[in-house]
Amino acid sequence: MIKINTAENFIRDFRSKGTEKTNPEIIETVAKILEDIKIRGDKAVKEYEKKFDGVDLEELEVSEAEKSSALKIVGKDFIKILERAAKNIYDFHSKQLRNGFMFSNSDGVILGQRVIPLEKVGLYVPGGTASYPSTVLMNAIPAKIAGCENIIVTTPPEIKPEIIAASHVAGVDRIYKIGGAQAVAALAFGTESVMKVDKIVGPGNIFVAEAKRQVFGHVAIDMIAGPSEILIIADEKNSPSNIAADLLAQAEHDRLASSILITDSKILAERVRDEIENQITKLERHDIARASIDNNGAVILVETLKEAENIANEIAPEHLELCVENPFESLTRIKNAGSVFLGKYSPEALGDYYAGANHTLPTMGTARFSSPLSVDDFVKKSQYIYYNEDALKKVSDDIEAFAKSEGLTGHANSITIRKCLQEK
């Protein structure tokens, strides 16, 4: 049963939790997989798929016939749902597009910045007990808007047709039947079949997360995602059944997921706790939700809702619901949160699938300094500088003095030698 706690006790427990280190055996196992695939390519990938997923793969890439079959299986109605969600995601993320700039601050000087899309990006989509077509849309559409030329999806074998359908709607170029650390390795280093990418995005299990950590530097990554989180700030005017449903929606993700309610109403706290017990047994993934609620769920009683906002800023949750009378006013005081859901009719599931804002969000308190996935994740910036002869002459003495102050006489000489040529 979910625990009802005071803010003081909760914050004390929250601060005492240290960051768990990855098991050394997992680190070593992942390192071996990465090195093996780096050397042996497709052959090693197929061996690991046989070992971990029990699948003999002749071809790693999803064929056109498999794509056509998947679209027929999901049906036109589901494809239309995907298309409506995709439009919302496109409309939101297209507002994030940046332009380069160029300016001159004096005669003979031009400075500027270019915004350039990454050429090749890899998107990892989890398999397992659930299907995540929403992950495809949320990652591939911003990459498409950014202008990436090659968008590649990897996902474990026995691919659910919904994943293929979402890839079709989002404009993914290729789909590979590869899961786990071996998928990250194939994307990071390239194989005979899989193109080496510039960046890997998307969530996964602990092996995927560790593989992303280890290949960072060879390629870019989006983030190391932790267990999913929701924090709800609610006043007494809320429906206990709605709040309980939102907490459970997060709890069913993962046994390690955390679902937290902060309220100034003891009556609401108790009714939400009871309602969770009424609803949890009806969930298909009730065992997962039960473990999450019992181990990581909490209801926190506070004196005022402003105190709740302060706690939220300290926790920096992945998802934050503001189920209060004036949510937009409350929003002005929220500094740390991945995505904020305003009012009683904006449940977190709306953001997971359909509204358009991204659902790939910072977890484990990293919303203090990290942002949701966006078009910015799929571009890089390059700057340029132009000085003509007269413009360089005007600043030569300053640059020489600056370089000499750092003991870098070679830098100074690269200016001096030009100045001497100008004086001849």
Active site residues: 318-319
* Amino acid present at 150: N
Sheet-wide strand order for 319-323: 3-6, 298-301, 258-263, 229-234, 319-323, 339-342
Is residue 290 within 8 A of residue 280, CB to CB? The reply is: yes
Query: If DSSP codes are grouped into helix, strand and coil, which group holds residue 26?
Result: helix
SS (H, E, C) 274-325: HHHHHHHCCCCCHHHHHHHHHHHCEEEECCCHHHHHHHHHHHCCCEEEEECC
Tokens for 410, please give them: 């070679």
**CA R_g for the chain:** 26
CA-based max dimension of the chain: 90
Is residue 320 within 8 A of residue 341, CB to CB? The reply is: yes
Query: Of 31, 33, 55, 57, nearest to 44 (Cα)?
Result: 33
* Amino acid present at 287: D
Distance CA 220, CA 325 (A): 42
Query: If DSSP codes are grouped into helix, strand and coil, which group holds residue 177?
Result: coil
Please report the sign of the dihedral spanned by the C-alpha atoms of residue 243, residue 246, residue 250, residue 255.
positive
CA 329 to chain centre: 27
- Between the alpha carbon of residue 60 and those of residues 38, 164, 338, the distances in Å are 16, 14, 35
* Amino acid present at 200: I
Residue carrying the six token digits 């170029």: 173
Q: What is the DSSP string of 108-160?
A: TEEEEEEEEE-SEEEEE---TTS--HHHHHHHHHHHHHHT-SEEEEE--SS--
Q: How far apart are the first and last CA of the chain?
A: 86
